[in-house]
Chains A and B, each alone.
Chain A
Amino acid sequence: MVVLDRSVAATEALVVPPRKRRKGVRVHFTQFKWLYLLLLPGIIYFALFRYGPMYGAIIAFKDYVPFLGIADSQWVGFQHFDAFFASPDFTRLLANTLILALLSLLIAFPLTIVVAILLNELRVTLVKRSVQTLIYIPHFLSWTVVASLTYLLFALDVGPLFQLINNVFGTNVDFLTDPAWFRPIIVLQDIWKNTGWGTIIFLAALASVDQEQYEAAIIDGAGRFQRVWHITLPSIMPTVVVMLVLQMGQVLNTGFEQIYLMTNSLNRQVADVFDTYVYFMGITQGSYSYSTAVGLFKALVGVVLIFGANWIARRFNQTGIF
């Protein structure tokens, strides 16, 4: 057998001369020319709109003058970063952003899992389907519509939720401008818009739980709650960890549109987050370099957070995303 193989290899070596490398590359290119042609528009897109701005972000270390352009503007080192870290805005923005992220992590995230489990425990298929259909809808609405609904529902004096809450508690709060109510309203909007949609990924994980485990647990006499606690929850833990890691990377990415639409001159102190600050400083006031430095800081922290969370997840013997 071995001899035969060797002889075949020998004849092949004789019949097919080794290709010259140069010719090989050209053959490759002509072979793939149509594929590269199809790839070209996409490459141009990524170069211009994804990697172009990454190059443009160097203006964070320069004093960008539109007239001079990105390349010819003066280098200033870390001046903009120093100015940002030294300004009182920095701690305020950090606190506002982190509090919103924390509230979302502590309230919205567990709520999504709870709703997914409740849906999974629902026995009547018709009810399950209808509820799913309804709670997915808000995800597809724009933040402008969500903000508009909020403005109507909480409108001073006439809004139904304004009246309801103020009547119940005997207060007279203007929810839309009161700084104390800014965060609760943001979290509420977030829950209303995204909880339903967020259940999809957990429902997929729940559907793939091994059913025989439940049967075994039933024979052992485990009740409904025990089955959820000892079988369902551990089974979807990997998905929970992955979603948690992904969310960690988004900690500083508060939704720009949502916050911008709910910000007004009275709640500005608690409403300002990194994203809206970049907009106000950069677009409204024209401090391009300074606002780019703020944005770059935010993006870098995001990268560190997502890799950090992934590393921690792996250390705790859970599968990360990378």
Chain B
Amino acid sequence: MARERYRFNTPAGRVFDVVNVVLLSLLGIVALLPFVFVAAGSFATESELATRSFFLWPETFSLRAYESILTSPAFLRAMVTTILVTAVGTVIQLLLTASMAYPLSKANLPGRRIMLSLIVFTMVFSGGMIPTFLMVKDLGLLNTYWALVLPMAINPFSLIIIKNFFQQLPNELEESAKIDGANELQTLWSVILPLSKPVLATFALFYAVGIWNDFMSPLLYLNDNSMWTLQMFLRQVTVATDLSIVEADPSQLPPAQGIKFAVIVVATLPILLFYPFLQKHFAKGMLIGSVKG
């Protein structure tokens, strides 16, 4: 069917096709090029970084930059912190979202409409940065890792998409679970959630990426730089060019430029590793949610 569209093609159309392929390939390369540049730079020596401004393959391979950061206690601390907060935070956020989405998917639940309106309202209006900060402070969450997870625990968009997904599951499944004597809690846990694995995986990945990439929450809520996450560490090294935070071995000069490249690579790598899974699911997850109901 789609092929039909192209059957009639003028010479100008054929020229356009060629130009189009070239143009879009260039776009793809532009999206990729900065990574290749940074990855190459992270394996280069300091002298090469000082003399050659742009290369996609280092002349001499060097692991000095990685040695410096992987022996830096501050960097390792930030790395472990970020991994733990991301893992625990994703589970908490997903559980909270799914457990709220399920009751809201029940059309006969009293109070459902008003709750949905209140949730949608938070998408267009919010109290703002300072009142949220004061709430976190009043709850005693300042300078705790909870502050990186709880204030954004439920994303209203994700909530509504998951709710819509639950809604379109066949009703008979729950009926039969009910006949078997299961209450809604058991039904959700042993029937609904296992059926929703692909959708939940999608949103787990979105939540995980959100926590991993979050810069504003640690900036607002963590004062103590021994608690810093990877993004805060990265900013200190590359944007503020403060290498003292690396706490490198004082006996030898740290590769100042190389460290910047290497930290970017390490902060980006997990996202790139998970990207194939993300890509497999995101389009599907987005389209499932768009079913109105």
Chain A residues with CB under 8 Å of chain B are 28, 32, 34-39, 41-43, 45-46, 48-57, 59, 70, 115, 118-119, 121-124, 127-128, 130-131, 133-138, 140-145, 147-149, 151-153, 158-160, 162-164, 192, 196, 200, 204, 211, 214-215, 218, 223-225, 227, 249, 256-257, 260-261, 275, 278-279, 282-283, 288, 291-292, 295-296, 298-299, 302-303, 306
Q: CB < 8 Å: which of B28, B126, B272, B278 contacts A131?
A: B28
Can you report 27 A-B residue pairs in the complex whose CB atoms are below 8 A from each other?
Answer: A28-B110, A36-B103, A38-B100, A38-B102, A49-B152, A52-B135, A56-B131, A115-B27, A118-B24, A124-B21, A135-B27, A137-B32, A140-B209, A140-B213, A143-B213, A145-B213, A149-B264, A151-B239, A152-B41, A152-B260, A153-B34, A158-B50, A192-B30, A260-B216, A261-B215, A292-B130, A302-B124
Contact A39 B100 (CB under 8 A): yes
Contact B264 A148 (CB under 8 A): yes
Q: CB < 8 Å: which of B106, B216, B271 contacts A141?
A: B271
Q: Does B94 contact A (CB under 8 A)?
A: no
* Measured CA separation A204–B284 after assembly (Å): 11
Contact B124 A249 (CB under 8 A): yes
Provided the pairs A121-B20, A192-B30 are in contact, do residues A288 and B100 lie with their beta carbons within 8 angstroms?
A: no
A291 to chain B, nearest CB (A): 5
Contact A299 B128 (CB under 8 A): yes
Closest to B134 in A: A56
B37, B115, B130, B239 — most chain A CB neighbours (10 Å): B130
Contact B100 A54 (CB under 8 A): no
Contact A32 B109 (CB under 8 A): yes
Contact B4 A214 (CB under 8 A): yes
B42 to chain A, nearest CB (A): 11
Instruction: Please indicate the chain B residues that have their CB under 8 angstroms from the CB of A296 in the complex.
Output: 128
Instruction: Please indicate the chain B residues that have their CB under 8 angstroms from the CB of A42 in the complex.
Output: 96-97, 99-100, 154, 159
Q: Does B47 contact A (CB under 8 A)?
A: no
Provided the pairs A39-B104, A141-B213, A144-B213 are in contact, do residues A53 and B268 lie with their beta carbons within 8 angstroms?
A: no
Question: Other than the known A39-B104, A54-B125, A118-B24, what 5 A-B pairs have Cβ atoms closer than 8 Å?
Answer: A56-B134, A140-B271, A147-B238, A149-B34, A298-B128
Provided the pairs A152-B238, A200-B286, A211-B2 are in contact, do residues A158 and B103 lie with their beta carbons within 8 angstroms?
A: no
Contact B124 A306 (CB under 8 A): yes
Q: Do most interface residues of chain A lie in helix, strand or loop, or is the interface mixed?
A: helix
Stretch of B60-68, B181-189, B246-254 at the chain-chain interface = B181-189
The 6 closest A-B pairs by CB, nearest first: A53-B127, A42-B100, A295-B128, A56-B131, A142-B213, A160-B54
Q: Do most interface residues of chain B lie in helix, strand or loop, or is the interface mixed?
A: helix
Q: Does B234 contact A (CB under 8 A)?
A: yes
* Measured CA separation A204–B290 after assembly (Å): 11
B93 to chain A, nearest CB (A): 10
Q: CB < 8 Å: which of A143, A160, A303 contacts B124?
A: A303
Contact A127 B24 (CB under 8 A): yes
Instruction: Please indicate the chain B residues that have their CB under 8 angstroms from the CB of A49 in the complex.
Output: 132, 135, 150-153
Q: Does B57 contact A (CB under 8 A)?
A: no
* Measured CA separation A200–B282 after assembly (Å): 10
Instruction: Please indicate the chain A residues that have their CB under 8 angstroms from the CB of B9 in the complex.
Output: 224
Q: Does B283 contact A (CB under 8 A)?
A: yes
Instruction: Please indicate the chain A residues that have their CB under 8 angstroms from the CB of B283 in the complex.
Output: 200
Instruction: Please indicate the chain A residues that have their CB under 8 angstroms from the CB of B99 in the complex.
Output: 38-39, 41-42
* Measured CA separation A213–B188 after assembly (Å): 45
Contact B127 A144 (CB under 8 A): no
Chain B residues with CB under 8 Å of chain A are 1-2, 4-10, 12-13, 16-17, 20-21, 23-25, 27-32, 34, 37-38, 41, 49-50, 53-54, 96-97, 99-100, 102-104, 106, 109-110, 115, 118-119, 122, 124-135, 139, 150-154, 159, 183-185, 188, 209, 212-216, 219-220, 231, 234-235, 238-239, 257, 260-261, 263-264, 267-268, 271-272, 275, 278-279, 283, 286-287
Q: CB < 8 Å: which of B50, B153, B185, B279 contacts A34?
A: B185
* Measured CA separation A140–B279 after assembly (Å): 11
* Measured CA separation A163–B17 after assembly (Å): 34
Provided the pairs A151-B238, A211-B5, A257-B215 are in contact, do residues A38 and B38 lie with their beta carbons within 8 angstroms?
A: no
Contact A148 B5 (CB under 8 A): no
Contact A46 B127 (CB under 8 A): no
A294 to chain B, nearest CB (A): 9
Instruction: Please indicate the chain B residues that have their CB under 8 angstroms from the CB of A200 in the complex.
Output: 283, 286
Provided the pairs A135-B31, A299-B128 are in contact, do residues A288 and B134 lie with their beta carbons within 8 angstroms?
A: yes
Instruction: Please indicate the chain B residues that have their CB under 8 angstroms from the CB of A144 in the complex.
Output: 213, 215, 231, 234-235, 239, 267
Contact A138 B96 (CB under 8 A): no
A13 to chain B, nearest CB (A): 24
Instruction: Please indicate the chain B residues that have their CB under 8 angstroms from the CB of A227 in the complex.
Output: 5
A51 to chain B, nearest CB (A): 8
* Measured CA separation A178–B159 after assembly (Å): 43
